[in-house]
Amino acid sequence: MNRTTRRRWIAVLTAGGLAALLTWNTAAVRGETTGATGGQVVRLPGGDVHVATSGPPDTPAVVLLHGLAGSTAWWEPVLPALQDLHVVRVDLLGHGSSAKPTTGYGIAEQADRVGAVLDRLGVRRATVVGHSTGGAVATSLAERRRDLVAAVALVDAGPRADAFLGESTAANLMTTPVVGELLWRLRTDGMLRSALSTAFTREVAIPERLVSDVRGMTYRSLTATDEAVDAFLAERPLPDRLAALDLPTLVVFGAQDRRWQPASAQDYRRVPRARVEILDGIGHTPMFEAPDITGALLRDFAATAPV
């Protein structure tokens, strides 16, 4: 074998080894699972769910559902405003301290799971609040459990699939097949902070807890949830779903949201019982960018919701 032929074989073998390594990594990353942790875990078939509760249990209940790659920590800035209410924060399956299996991420599945958690906790009627993807889960829960949901509040929840503005470059690459799994394996805190950056418009110091919660997700829980909300919105926009429910509805939207078209918030005005609040100078995450205003809006809405 001459030198030229040898080099060609080495190149072929190297390329084949790299391809095999990427194939192995893709399968390994997609198959990762973890169990639930934390102080208060509700055991459920298909995946245990972590919850955090606060406030007097005999007061109106408000349920807080975070968005994609979020956790109960995303609601902490508004908790002081809600201290006189019975607050239940839920880590959706695949997020925060909840279990991260390979299946179970459909929006209706997430909604049924939240309903089961509330049943276990003895919550019979509640105002359900959802941020971004959590807004889709809140809406689905209202569709499926009219006995449980007294009112719905949405915080920067995109009304329809084509209103999405996009993610950062880092976040987009994370969902690209093969490349995404490799980046997930090699992810750094800097990459995760870049992916989180479009969630904020005002200068906000992103707490380490938010970064560590994303790091603690599995690749499957991230991408499957992302795919699920796209499918849910494509099937039927949130305003159409809410209009059919005829429930008291509050919509809070940042006028400078960098993930959803701010103008799309106007779609919710066709919901008969909706109150739409547009916050000037605020982006996708009013809980951190304007916690006092956001907390007061949620408190007043939940405190006056029908029981």
pLDDT digit string, tens, across residues 206-232: 899 999 999 999 999 999 999 999 999
Token pair, residue 198, equals 């479009």
Least confident segment among 47-51, 193-197, 246-250, 287-291: 193-197
- Alpha carbons 142 and 125: distance in angstroms, whole number: 11
79 pLDDT above the threshold of 60:
yes
Note the pLDDT of residue 182: 80
Residue 276 pairs in a beta bridge with 251
Picking from 299, 254, 245, 246, the residue whose alpha carbon sits closest to that of residue 127 is 299
Kindly report the pTM of this predicted structure.
0.90
In the chain, the domains with their CATH numbers are 41-303 (3.40.50.1820)
Residue 6 tokens read as 């040898």
- Residue 136 Cα to chain centre, angstroms: 9
Average pLDDT, the chain: 90
Q: Amino acid identity, residue 54?
A: S
Q: Mind listing the pLDDT tens digit for each residue in 168-199?
A: 666 667 667 767 778 887 888 988 898 899 99
Whether the per-residue pLDDT at 78 is higher than 90: the answer is yes
Round to whole Å and give the CA distance between 254 and 200: 10
| Res. 114 pLDDT band, cuts 50 70 90 | very high
Structure-model confidence comparison of residues 210 and 306, the more confident one: 210
